[in-house]
A and B are shown apart, each in its own frame.
Chain A
Amino acid sequence: MNLADSKKKLALAGLGCGLVAACLAFFGNPANMAFCIACFVRDMAGSLGMHQAEAVQYARPEIVGLVCGSFLIAVVTKEYRSVAGSSPLIRFVLGMIIMIGSLVFLGCPLRMVIRMSAGDLNAWVALIGFILGVATGAFALKQGFSLGRSHETNAASGAVLPAILAGILILAVCTALLKASEAGPGSMHAPILLSLAGGLIFGALAQKSRMCFAGSIRDVILMKNFDLLTVILGLFAVMLVYNVALGKFTLGFDTPGVIAHSEFLWNILGMYAVGFAAVLAGGCPLRQLILAGQGSSDAAITVLGLFFGAALCHNLGLAASGTALNPETKELVAGAVPVNGKVACVICILVCFVIAFTNKRKVRK
């Protein structure tokens, strides 16, 4: 069966991904972080000792599952193509920018949608920034932005990232080498096998449906095509039902326990950077993992940029803090973006503009 030849089937793929996310949230993943690419990559970076934020260190099997699920389905359906060579270091920088923007907002586009489905109005505010960022990227595409084409390379090259991530999972399960949080978001997780299975299923569905949060809005802007948006709406619908049914739907700002903040400007600018950089890189963080799984070393380099960006965010104090209740005084402590994070976010946006308008399509004649 072709999973993706009609809008109904695309919506079904989105529903499937939503079910996976809801299931993982139910079985232990942090509230409203059921399946966040930025948060989970940040946790993996922590588990490898790339940063020392003790609350966010855990080798997330979901990330391994996503990449390996995409890899396996691509091999089985003969869509695996090992390609590389499209401005790798610019893609690395774009990966860093996506992560810094995500940790200023506190979530990738996938988590933004999951937070929206839980009634978090900060995520709806951030959506404005994300749409504007994607629109700016689409404008750059119309002006001839290009990172150049990729080329076929050795088949093994495209399998390196899936192999590395599988190795990390084996280390996490079989040794005590990797760091694991004892408190905080990193300590909250579904059982390993369930997380891995969820990642594999999500990865396979995302690969077949071409799911992409930035791409869905880009397609609406450039072609008035709503196919990819259908997948996202399917996921949103399942998470909305899950949150309402389990009493986890709370409409409002400043919701303690959600790991979010209410600095509107920085929610908007953080996701603006993410949307802009994602269009330039050819896909949102989820799509980068999926493309890396199906053989793109360029996307794998972007994923490495995500890891590096996550380490920078916590080593240099760029990541925002979430609104929380003080356990002793029971007072609400507002989450905030640190000054370093604000400066970094502005620099990221400026760098996006430089990349967008200095890399043009080359004409041979």
Chain B
Amino acid sequence: MLEYFVDLLKISLPILYLFAIFLYGLAFFLDEQFGIRNRTRFLIVTLAVHLVYLLSRSLLTGHPPTTSVFEIMSVVAFTIGVAYVYIEMMTKVKETGMFILTLALLFQVVSSAFVKAEVKISPFLKSSLLGLHVGSAMLGYSALAIAAVYGGLYLMMYHEIRSNKFGIIYRKLPDLKTLENLSYVSIILGFIFLSIVILVGYVWLPKTVDDFSYSDPKLIITDIVWGIYFVALLSRRLMRWTGRTVVIVSMIGFFLTIASMVVVNVFLPSFHNFK
């Protein structure tokens, strides 16, 4: 019974995210009152359903949904949604929802398509530090993903103004400074969480994993990503990088993060593969 329920939610979630994006799109492109009135409300309902899905999945499998890359993708989709609602409430900027949620939808679609009902869990995944390590990773990835989307929106707006188009992007998106700030704050949060991930990982993994290696591809790429963000943040401080440079760095950092998360898990041998 519970299995059917979890499957039903798994299939429903991409549809719910799609409909939330549709409502944000209605408001963005057509100024439809239906979309304007219901977009945030519907997103909150979607996130509530997503939370029920994650909890019932945990109940079904007997472990938190953080033991496979596809389970993690669903958690990332959820945290992107929650982070977005928080940002929307803080800044009152609602026009970026369609773009941020598209990212959440992508993660959820991949997760729903490939996640398996049962996975064998490695004993090291039962460690008490797992929650901190994986939880920080989820929040970090989500924040960096959001930073990248705001970065992308910044570049769209930048080109819209430079090319004298003044179309819907110009009218609807927040100003460049706001987009830059949203991207920057998301980078800082992402960087903090990524630091916790790495710190906990280096303390915990050598003691827990027999074949631990500092030359593991995933560790190296994560360190590189962390390094890029560190240099970027330091440069902003020391060299007063602003605007386009910051958002380009945030986007490069995010694509490398995705590489760490997906490519390494799928294509390279690693002790760090949840099996």
A binds B: no
Interface residues, chain B, CB within 8 Å of chain A?
A: none
**Which residues of A are in contact with B by a Cβ distance under 8 Å?**
none
